[in-house]
Structure 1
């Protein structure tokens, strides 16, 4: 199973390579050039995509052959920019099928839970791919806030399918299917993990079967993706009461002693639309320690 990384682990791992001397007063400093590595990753991925193509009959990425269309020019290949720690990374995703969920569901958010299977390989250089370093052919549930960021964002471009299980193994049809090409900066960075070396780009064949929409990690009545009061689309860095627990994991976001789910003055089950403070009419009660 892919090694799941939570926010704390990511912070620890990214701080492992550092210098600490008398000139920085004991402050741990990460001297690795992540921005420079992002440029190297981008160049390497572009060259890889120009040197490989998608073989439909084999359902596999192969070295470019005469007459084939390079991945970089394939209409099924898309890209998106992911910003982490103020550095922009280009994530590429190849879409075989977006997915056709039944009952209808939308794309997952970076905070939702997903049921997937996958097959991962290391992109060793612009011409070489490793054997599989990790796979799950039976399917597993993952929280997209707890995996490498390339997964968190990559899966948002797909949808699930239809559960057709009938007295047997869990089976889906018409799910999302594709390939993620992930730069190291939103994978295992300059640390690596197991067989994955530091600063290695990764490739995952993925199938998305199902999604738990509006995942609510702390069961406070507010979807985790919406516990983002600073509106930067990353709920991981929102901690209203500064207790070291992000709001989406904190059952009492403002630390006033009243659970967030109970700060629902109008009783509609949604604490996010209750504003009882005339002196601060735009601040929801669950984020306002003066309202209990």
Structure 2
């Protein structure tokens, strides 16, 4: 059982193809495609898929005896010609993406990418996680042609910022189960009775774009079937006292370009955000270790102390 594929965020700067050139070197550099070129192509492919495929919504509506709550997707054809297309259930969220966020040099800014999701079964929690939270999930990742490239049939913890961006933002549209519905099974595994289930369809820009993975060609649209068990509300990845979601300072939904002290560590993974030698936690707590809200701003310049190297 593999669950390493979706956590990688390393993107290739360029794709190299081997063929003869005028210099006889045999190596020709092929620059990555533009986000603005690929995004509409991906969207057209996704819309076509959603209009020609269905999932087993009737099972989830009626929950027949012995139903295993697995999401099944098939083509609308033949005896299934009367099924309701997935597009009728799908919702979407638009995420702006810049080439620099993929370590690309094209200079594109805020190119819209549409992520589609279907809430197959609403979870019992009152709130959804954020894209910065840690989540307990089961999942299966595939291409639109059905090729499975990654899955975990057991629950695993994922820090969402470490997954591909579309996965994190897609999970953030769903609701999880609740701790009081955790059931320990006889075989030592456990289940969550009121977990949330959904389908995510992710354009390549919010996936791996021009970086190939095993069984994932370049510029591939990704489909995930997911079950969201639980999540850690206000996850604090670096345990500095500031919830990770609050460390997305520019509010662009991308956690890795907020690095106040420019030390190479994004703020949500940096225990001294401003690099002044005083831990962030010390700068936001009183003598008893209680977090002070709003966060202290000693020089009243509008920048809290933990982000201001001029105050200690």
TM surpasses 0.5: yes
- Partner of 1:38, secondary structure, is helix
Partner of 2:169: 153
| Structure 2 residue 176 is the aligned partner of structure 1 residue 164 | no
Shift of 1:272: 5.6
The residue matched to 1:116 in structure 2 has which SS? strand
Counterpart mapping for 1:59-138 below 5 A: 59-65=71-77, 66-72=81-87, 74=88, 76-85=89-98, 86-101=110-125, 106-123=127-144, 129-138=145-154
* Residue segments in structure 1 that go unaligned for 5+ positions in a row: 20-27, 124-128
Question: How many corresponding residue pairs?
Answer: 268
SS of corresponding position for 1:276: coil
Q: After TM superposition, give the deviation of residue 41 of structure 1 in Å.
A: 0.3
Structure 2 runs not aligned, ≥5 long: 18-28, 60-69, 99-109
Residues 176, 139 of structure 1: alpha-carbon distance in 2 compared, 3 angstrom cutoff: same
TM-score under structure 1 normalisation?
0.85
Q: Deviations over 1:64-111 (max 9, x none)?
A: 132222212x2x31111112212211111111112003xxx5211111
**Displacement of 1:17:** 2.9
Q: Secondary structure at the match of 2:256?
A: helix
Deviates more, 1:30-39 or 1:145-154: 30-39
Relative distance call for 1:100 and 1:151 in structure 2 (3 A) is: same
Partner of 2:45: 44
| Separation in 1, partners of 2:97, 2:294 | 27
Name which of 216, 221, 224 aligns with 2:236.
216
